Amino acid sequence: MSTAQSHKPGRKKSRSLFQLRQDIPDRVFFAAGFVIPVVLLLMWWLVTSLGLVKPLFLPGPLSVVGEGWRQLTEGILFEDASVSVYRIVVGWAVATVVAVPVGILMGNYRIVEGLFEPLISTARYMPVVALIPLSILWAGIGDGQKILILFLGTFFQQTLMIMDNVKNIDINLIRAGQTLGFTNNEILRRIILPAALPGIWDTFRITIGWTWTYLVVAELVAANSGLGRRIMDAQRYLSTDTILFGTLFIGLLGLLTDYLFKRAGKSLFKWSSQTR
Amino acid sequence: MMTSAKTAAPTISVDGVGRNFTVSGQTLVAIEKIDLDIQQNEFVSIVGTSGCGKSTLLNMIGGLDEPTSGEIRIEGKPVDGPGRDRGFVFQTYSLFEWMTVEKNIRFALEKSSFARAEKDELVAHFIQAVGLSGFEKAYPKQLSGGMKQRVAIARALVYKPSILLMDEPFGALDAQTRGMMQELLLKIWEDHKVTVVFITHDVDEAIFLADRVIVLASRPGRIKKDMRIELDRPRSYEVLTDPKFAAYKREVLTDIREETLKALSAGQG
Ligand SMILES: Nc1ncnc2c1ncn2[C@@H]1O[C@H](COP(=O)(O)OP(=O)(O)O)[C@@H](O)[C@H]1O
Ligand SMILES: [Mg+2]
């Protein structure tokens, strides 16, 4: 094979990284992910250390790291993070527990889709921030209200995505089940559900990312701790280093969640031709 | 056809069957009226241009769809939904990806009344019959297209249906694999004696396999030709160069070409 391919013997073939749709070495791919963040970091550092912008508008990287260290050593970070993670997990889990059955039924029964689809499609465009006053009226000012906001930010979109996951399975799997004599109920539980599960898992991964993005909204009002709350408080005192650190930290936690879901999905669904 | 003694009902009897679909308020006549009797152990291929109603017909025989008019009977009994007297193989591999080869096949036996030991035996037998020994514990993802379709065939036969319905089962395979699968299918058919209805758009494949080739006319679907294939059995690939084969092929191709031209001029191609 190799002799047939090398037109110019002796020359080591260094394939260009810019071939349409061509794979590149894993290590190069991985390293590429750091290029832009590192460049941005350098620019950030340069701009601030040269005094081109006032620290009020953009504090230097070191002072953001310093802020992080302060929060860590004073125990604030851990407290904030645990409160927020708790709210995220519960809000997302409640949304998921409702969205999975509703989405699965919508994906399988046109009548259920007809019942819910118009409502959910409308609701998903509701500005969740605008619902804060109502959410306080309904759920008080405790954790329940935060969880309600996270639920509202996650549930509608998630339900529609799960419906699509279910619809995307090969119709012939269902037909195969019918020809083998299984009842609708058995087909639902033993064929449709497992077949749709890798896709649903991916929806889980994506939607929990969205739940993270609603954290600040959830902790906007009537919260005295939490990562989002810390950012909003910092706004009042114009402590931009706290704002920046908080935002980056939420981003990092989101990234971590994403990674965990990806890893878990890979090992749970080894059999799936979708996971690679 | 005069099979005088014991004139049992045909295995499959399609009696004046029509099927309309409603597409955005309009009635689409997918199948106008089809009459077709298929005898026990017969191997029947159905060919026709795409969209002429082949799948619709097969689905109705399989009980996955209902005729708008007419009736389909299996061994004299009207079809009322899918049944374990019929096995189905689809063009998409339609395997249960989360189950191993063995479990996929065994899953098909769940609704059977065979004893446990018998089931084990059947699974083992069919894995061997489709040439997948050694792959019992493999997952579908790890198999090639041809191997996947062999699992699907085993799954459709393991519960001992008397009829095997196949909807372009080899349509997604490359030419070489396809040839191997055709020979394998003929061997299984000869060993297990089932009635096969085989849909394909490959004329060679249709003739090579079948006792009878049915050509469907399109829009609305109806039978254009019902042709007996008098080639020796057992068949091997050598038959492909037989002059009789070429004559059959010419006849079917002429029909299909006519239908395709009609469809094109009707702006439906
Ligand atoms: N569920 C359905 N709803 C509406 N139209 C359908 C449906 N199934 C098939 N048809 C139409 O019926 C015709 C025959 O389809 P089909 O049996 O799948 O053709 P073939 O298998 O020969 O390619 C096509 O015009 C197709 O669009
Ligand atoms: Mg078809």
Q: How confident is the model at residue B259 (pLDDT cuts 50, 70, 90)?
A: confident
Which residue from B156, B141, B139, B230 is spatially nearest to B194, judged by alpha carbons? B156
CA of B203 to the centre of ligand 2 (A): 15
Local confidence band at B5 (pLDDT 50, 70, 90 cut-offs): very low
Digit-coded pLDDT (tens) for B76-100: 899 999 999 999 999 998 999 999 9
- pLDDT tens sequence across B233-243: 989 888 999 99
Tell me the C-alpha distance between B125 and B117, whole Å.
12
Task: Name the pairing type of β-strands B77-78 and B69-74.
Answer: antiparallel
CA B165 to centroid of chain Cα atoms = 4
- Shortest Cα–Cα distance, A180 to chain B (Å): 6
**Option in B83, B94, B159 nearest A176 (CB):** B94
Cα–Cα nearest to B35, from B1, B80, B69: B69
pLDDT given at position B269 = 45
**Cβ of B111 under 8 Å from any chain A Cβ?**
yes
Question: Which residues of chain A does B94 touch, with a Cβ-Cβ cutoff of 8 Å?
Answer: 170, 172-173, 175-176
Question: Residue B179 carries which DSSP code?
Answer: H
Residue A14's pLDDT is 58
Nearest CA owner, ligand 1 atom 16 = B53
Provide the shortest C-alpha distance from residue A175 to chain B (in Å): 7
pLDDT in tens, B38-78: 999 999 999 998 888 999 999 999 999 999 999 999 998 99
Distance from CA of B213 to the nearest CA of A (A): 25
Given a contact cutoff of 8 angstroms between Cβ atoms, the answer to whether B43 and B72 are in contact is no
pLDDT of A217 over the 50 cut: yes
Between strands B195-199 and B43-47, the pairing is parallel
Instruction: Report residue B202: phi and psi, to 5°.
Output: -95, 110
Type of residue found at A270? K
- Regarding the beta carbon of B56 and ligand 1, being less than 6 Å apart is answered yes
Neighbours of B248 (CB within 10 A): 23
Q: Which domains does chain A have, with CATH numbers?
A: 3-49 (no CATH), 61-268 (1.10.3720.10)
Chain B contact for A181, CB < 8 A? yes
Q: Give the residue from A168, A154, A165 showing the smallest Cα distance to A96.
A: A154
CA–CA gap between residue A183 and residue A153 (Å, rounded)? 36
A269 to chain B, closest Cα gap in Å? 8
Inter-chain touch A194–B62, beta carbons under 8 Å: no
Of A181, A191, A273, the CB nearest to B96: A191
Mutation pick for ligand 1 pocket among B23, B26, B28, B56 (CB with most ligand atoms within 8 Å): B56
At A141, list the tokens: 């000012």
- With CB atoms and an 8 Å threshold, state whether B87 touches A170: no
Contact list, B88 vs chain A (CB under 8 Å) = 175-176, 179
Give me the phi and psi of B197, to 5 degrees please.
Answer: -115, 120
Q: Is B225 helix (H, G, I), strand (E, B) or coil?
A: strand
The residue ranges of every structural domain in chain B are: 8-81+200-269
Predicted pLDDT of residue A205: 96
Q: Which atom of ligand 1 is nearest to the CA of B48?
A: 22
Between CA B122 and CA B85 the distance in angstroms is 16
Say if the Cβ atoms of A175 and B64 lie within 8 Å.
yes
The mean per-residue pLDDT over the stretch A234-243 comes to 92
Which pLDDT score, from 0 to 100, does residue B2 have? Answer: 46
B222-228: strand order across its sheet: B86-89, B163-167, B195-199, B43-47, B212-217, B222-228
Out of B19, B21, B92, mutate this one to test ligand 1's pocket (max ligand atoms within 8 Å of CB): namely B21
The pLDDT assigned to B9 comes to 77
The answer to whether the CB atoms of A272 and B156 lie below 8 A apart is no
Ligand 1 neighbourhood includes B182 CB (under 6 angstroms): no
B90, B108, B111: residue with CB nearest A172:
B90
B56, B80, B107, B157, best to mutate vs chain A, most A CBs in 10 Å? B107
User: Which residue among A170, A179, A272 places its CB closest to the CB of B92?
Assistant: A170
Q: Which residues contact B48 (CB under 8 A, 6 or more apart)?
A: B54, B201, B215, B216, B217, B218, B221, B224, B256, B259
Angle in degrees, CA B209, B112, B195, rounded to 5 = 20
Q: Percent of chain A scored above 70 by pLDDT? A: 94
Atom of ligand 1 nearest to the CA of B56: 17
Q: How far is CA B206 from the centre of its chain?
A: 10
A2 pLDDT higher than 50: no
DSSP notation for A190-251: IIIHHHHHHHHHHHHHHHHHHHHHTHHHHTSSS-SSSHHHHHHHHHHTT-HHHHHHHHHHHH
pLDDT of residue A21: 85
Proximal ligand: closest to the CA of B50: 1
Residue in chain B lying closest to A174 (CA): B94
Residues 6+ apart with CB under 8 A from B215: B47, B48, B223, B224, B225, B226, B227, B252, B255, B256, B259
CATH of domain B8-81+200-269: 3.40.50.300
- For the CA atoms of chain B, what is the radius of gyration? 19
Q: What pTM, to 2 d.p., does this model score?
A: 0.88
Q: Distance from the CA of A266 to the center of ligand 1, in angstroms?
A: 37
Give the range among A12-21, A75-84, B27-36, B106-115 with minimum mean pLDDT: A12-21
Q: Is the distance from the beta carbon of residue B53 to the nearest atom of ligand 1 less than 6 Å?
A: yes
Partners of residue B107 in chain A, C-beta under 8 Å: 180
